[in-house]
Amino acid sequence: MPPQKLLGPCSVHQCSKNSSDFRRLTEIAYNKAKEHGALILYPNLQLYDIICFSHYISIVENYHQNNEKESEPELSSEGISLASKIQKMTDVFYQMQHKEFMDLILDPEEFNHCLAERDEDLNDFLSEIFT
């Protein structure tokens, strides 16, 4: 029996991909994305959410590939582990979205600034994870 085809919409906030192919964020996929920090960019995603195929690729699979290239845990220049920065960033996100009801910041510069303002350990964090 073929697996039942999932129907959208994509759970990614304001998804604009015109996809007809959807994937469920299984526990494995969700943890994979979480582990690599991909969920930070999509803080509204929950376990078992349905997302479009292109988002699934960029959130789950691409991060997985990146991880395979460098399996060593990264330390930032200040000696704070990437994981703890991600944790801090998640906290800031939670604060912004759930307590202050801020709109999603789409400008990377402004976003970086906003993070650094709240926690100086997060200064330049974005450029650190994306370079």
- How many residues bind Zn ion (CB under 5 A)? The answer is 6
Q: Examine residue 15 and tell whether it contacts Zn ion (CB under 5 A).
A: yes
Which residue type occupies 129? I
Q: Are 82 and 76 in contact (CB under 8 A)?
A: yes
Q: Are 22 and 71 in contact (CB under 8 A)?
A: no
Question: Using CB under 5 A, which of the segments 8-16, 38-46, 59-67, 79-87 binds Zn ion?
Answer: 8-16
Q: Examine residue 118 and tell whether it contacts Zn ion (CB under 5 A).
A: no
| CA-to-CA separations, 97 to 21, 42, 43, 62, in angstroms, rounded | 29, 12, 9, 26
Question: Using CB under 5 A, which of the segments 6-14, 61-69, 85-93, 113-121 binds Zn ion?
Answer: 6-14
Looking at residue 12, what DSSP letter applies? S
Q: Examine residue 126 and tell whether it contacts Zn ion (CB under 5 A).
A: no
Q: Examine residue 88 and tell whether it contacts Zn ion (CB under 5 A).
A: no
Q: Are 68 and 38 in contact (CB under 8 A)?
A: no
Query: Site mask, Zn ion, residues 41-70, x = CB under 5 A?
Result: -----------x--x---------------
Q: Examine residue 24 and tell whether it contacts Zn ion (CB under 5 A).
A: no
Q: What size, in residues, is the chain? A: 131
